[in-house]
Chain A
Amino acid sequence: MSLLERENPGVIMTPDNIRSKKLPWVINLGIAVGALVLAAAVVLGLGIGNWVLVIVVGIVFYLAGLFAAASRVEGRRSARNRLWQTLIYGACILAILPLASVVWTLVSKGAARLDGDFFGSSMNNIGARDPNGGAYHAIIGTLEQVGIATLMAVPLGVLGAIYLVEYGRGKFALTVRFFVDVMTGIPSIVAGLFILAFWVLIVSPWFNNGTPRFSGFAASLALTVLMLPTIVRSTEEMLRLVPGPLREGAYALGVPQWKTIVKVVLPTALPGIVTGVMLAVARAAGETAPVLLVAGGAAAINFDPFAGNQSSLALYVYGQAGDASRYAPDRAWTAALTLVTLVLILTIAAKLLARRNRLT
């Protein structure tokens, strides 16, 4: 039944009758309730599943019923539109569910060991039957490794971005840019293996009487490899946003290009660069695999990142997750909560800083 057939030649066209008919929301709701009841009757009647299946079957029935009803009232094209809209809204709800579950589990399970002992002690001499033990050594490790990695990655990354924006041209710059993008996709475990092969197995014996040695610094190197492309990419985007007239103004005053970059371009882009760095730091702080491969993990406090095994928060979570002690899961969840809090604070601060950035 199309619009044309419904039209009455004697009637004057008004907005009320030229507009196509809409499915009233009451019918929509009715279909939803009806579909759920029908699904419950079918599923529970046949005894083939529980309430989860009722909801899934109910959604299928609802979509079918909605499509049929909308086809009758609004026409087939409009019905298809409605169907897809419902599916797209559904996808959104479906994605929120696991996130909500993760957050709820983190808070409810992580609160168990959220005490001073957890943040003030290490796992040294903690046996399987000891309920206490903490993550102090892991927090130290995370801070030192990520800090050193940031110290190495930021100058390198910012200079690389300056090359791409200010100096680079031609084939070589394009190649560098392409591989920066490719490098963002390198798996963290490969970065860990690279530092294992390069630093731990080949270079570190030179400093340690010929025996390879794990260290927090090796973890920093691996994290640098992971942070570098992210920092180059975000800094590059920020430098490109700096208005050309600012540079030209400096050139017109006779300022050489390097000084223009250091004194004019970088300060203008600074908030954006800091945002990118903070996001990179947040990602690096959550990396487990490279630390596992090159820092080795440790139970005791080790302040020296250049000698001896070190742990990190992410590695601590992984280690406690694999521990057989019945107190380990609590420690793992509390450490996970600490880690997520740290990462989210960095991320949210970065995003808020980005919002205040006048360049974007």
Chain B
Amino acid sequence: MGDYPSRSASTGAGGSSVTARHARSAGGGISPIPPDDLDGSRPPLGGGGALPRKARFSMETGFRALSTAAGAMVLVIIVAIAIFLISKAVPALQANTENFLTYKAWFPNDAEPKFGIAALAFGTVLTSVIALIVAVPVALGIALFLSHYAPKRLANPLGFIIDLLAAVPSVVFGLWGRDVFRVPVEDFSVWLNKYFSWLPIFGGDGPFGRSILLGSLVLAIMVLPIVTSLSREVFQQTPLMNEEAALALGATKWEMIRTAVVPYGKPGVIAAVMLGLGRALGETIALALTLGIVFNISFNLIESGGNSIAANIANTFGEANATGRGALIASGLVLFAITLVVNMAARAIIYRRREFRDSAA
């Protein structure tokens, strides 16, 4: 760490005033910051100090202010989202004649507006959780396959295809789920109902089809690529030393994965799952097309029904009046709060592990 010429104040030859100025300007952020040094605790690399400034307001100051403003814009937008959603939600919530948190139906356009988020929030969480229960084991399997089992020639194109899956718009998945995937899911539901109707989640007398099961499965296909690509990156970062040490002790490949790869990647996988959860909670159009849109709280997975906050916004926005819009914005505010908490928790986990900070997207 000794070779930062601009910081060596005792060089002498240049005269004390020049070196002192250089030291100041280097510390003032003129040089590039190494990627692992965000808090600026270490002296900057290289330390190429600029020439002494001529003017108080130069292009440099302007450019710096401009880019700082652009960076701050992100914070402004997040705060603005909260402020504007609250400002439009409050009048509708005041007009509401029922309890917003516990009422289970949605009639905000009536003369006496009645609406509540209970059934919607329940449906949102239920579909997302089922989607994750289905998607996470498969996603981890694919991630392990891509990082440790597949030959490189196969892993690269397959990873590419998984990434393409992430790029397919949600409305296409929704359309596919409604027109194509519904048929096998309906058959499956009838079969489940025939043999397992003694379980409450598979009970009921039909009709089946546009059910929570269909919505969750479509959702599972949609969160699969996110969880896969993030956990794949984390698994790939396992130190080769750890893997080789496990193998050298006589571990089989699976034992090596269980003892070296999985413990190392655990925080990253948890974060990936939570990011997938955030995506699933906010998914709109695919659920609006595949759920049965019924306002009730029921654990029955196969009967037509189910609803979610986002799907309800897309479905009822068309006929909403001013109060109706306010009510939808209020429900969107709840969704925003839930996803913000989930995402912040996921990012906090990622940030605690420095190795993951710069990789996961």
Taking Cβ atoms with an 8 Å cutoff, the residues of A that contact B are 48-49, 52-53, 77-78, 80-81, 84-85, 87-92, 94-96, 98-99, 101-102, 105-106, 109, 155-157, 159-160, 162-171, 173-191, 193-194, 196-198, 201-202, 225, 228-229, 232-234, 237, 240, 244-245, 247-248, 250-252, 254, 256-259, 261-262, 279, 282-283, 285-289, 292-293, 314, 317-318, 321, 329, 332-333, 336, 339-340, 343-344, 347-348, 351
Contacts and interface: CB of A to CB of B under 8 A. Distances in A.
A351 B282 contact: no
A183 to B, nearest CB: 6
B319 interface: no
13 contacts: A78-B252, A91-B142, A95-B162, A102-B168, A160-B67, A187-B336, A197-B88, A247-B46, A288-B169, A321-B171, A321-B174, A340-B168, A347-B164
A336 B172 contact: yes
Contact of B339 (A179, A185, A247, A292): A185
For chain B, the bracket of interface size reads: 35 or more
B69 to A, nearest CB: 8
Contacts of A160: 67, 70-71, 73-74
Given A186-B336, A314-B169, A85 B253 contact: yes
Contacts of A258: 59-60, 62-64
A-B CB proximity, top 8 nearest: A187-B282, A286-B169, A91-B141, A251-B48, A159-B70, A163-B71, A185-B343, A258-B63
B306 interface: no
A247 B275 contact: no
Nearest to A194: B81
A148 B70 CA distance: 18
B278 A185 contact: yes
Contact of B138 (A53, A94, A225): A94
Interface stretch (B25-33, B98-106, B205-213): B25-33
Contacts of B178: 321
Contacts of A225: 77, 81
B50 A257 contact: yes
B38 interface: yes
B12 interface: no
Contact of A321 (B38, B63, B175, B332): B175
Contacts of B329: 193, 196-197
A200 B73 CA distance: 20
Interface of B: 29-35, 38-40, 45-46, 48-51, 58-60, 62-64, 66-75, 77-78, 80-81, 84-85, 87-88, 137-142, 144-145, 149, 158, 160-165, 167-176, 178-181, 184, 188, 191, 195, 221, 224, 228, 252-255, 257, 275, 278-279, 281-285, 288-289, 310, 313-314, 317, 325, 328-329, 332, 335-336, 339-340, 342-344, 346-347, 350-351, 358, 361
B31 A233 contact: no
Contacts of A155: 70
Given A77-B252, A189-B313, A318 B285 contact: yes
Contacts of A256: 50-51, 58-60
A159 B67 contact: yes
Contacts of B351: 178
A236 B30 CA distance: 18
A190 B332 contact: yes
A344 B64 CA distance: 37
Contacts of A85: 149, 253-254
Nearest to B278: A185
A254 B310 CA distance: 54
A247 B347 CA distance: 31
Contacts of A229: 74
B73 A156 contact: yes
Given A87-B141, A95-B142, A163-B71, A344 B339 contact: no
A240 B195 CA distance: 58
Contacts of A89: 145, 149
A304 B167 CA distance: 28
